[in-house]
Chain A
């Protein structure tokens, strides 16, 4: 099945800084999603982005399907951005989303 790798595994930022999280995947994807897992464990949908670029406020994402990677950009980070960011993908023939192991982000004052 598809392999999904995320980097970096951990990231510490000062409030106001920008960051880029990366997701590499091993096969052509039908679906690629970015999630933020909050401290209570809930997965919040950030982007559904099998290809192209999307923006939502301070967050944006780009997926380059031909090169098999996706990037999540966080600008002007805030303490509420802290948590774990997951990338998940599946191929057209797969029945499930395969998750990466996540990037744990801590934003400090």
Chain B
């Protein structure tokens, strides 16, 4: 099946620890994105990547890092520098920047 797979669905982290969220797509899309959603809110862009080995900061990049070593994969690391990491994280991809975007099922991160 074609699509975007995020793992894990639920993740618990102790304060002070880094954690990496996985995002894989088999749609042959060039562009990939990470968004964050807080309760009752819309989505805000963390990072995006237009092509392999390239990525740019979004609106709320502080405390996060990404890599894009393969076209299919765009992992997001939530570092200990992120002050309020508990949120729902959504990965998306599109054929190119500014074309129709498709989303994964999300990862719910809780800091305990």
Contact = CB atoms under 8 A, between A and B. Distances in A.
Real binding pair: yes
Max count, chain B CB within 10 A of own CB: residue among A43, A86, A88: A43
B90 A43 contact: yes
Interface residues of A, number: 22
B100 A48 contact: yes
- Main SS at interface, chain B: strand
Given A41-B88, A99-B42, A92 B98 contact: yes
B105 A33 contact: no
A94 B59 CA distance: 12
Given A41-B108, A102-B42, A30 B88 contact: no
B47 to A, nearest CB: 10
Contacts, number: 53
B43 A99 contact: yes
B42 A101 contact: yes
A100 interface: yes
Contacts of A102: 42
Given A31-B98, A101-B42, A42 B105 contact: yes
Interface string A41-73: 111010010000000000000000000000000
Interface of B: 33, 37, 41-45, 48, 50, 56, 58-59, 88, 90, 97-106, 108
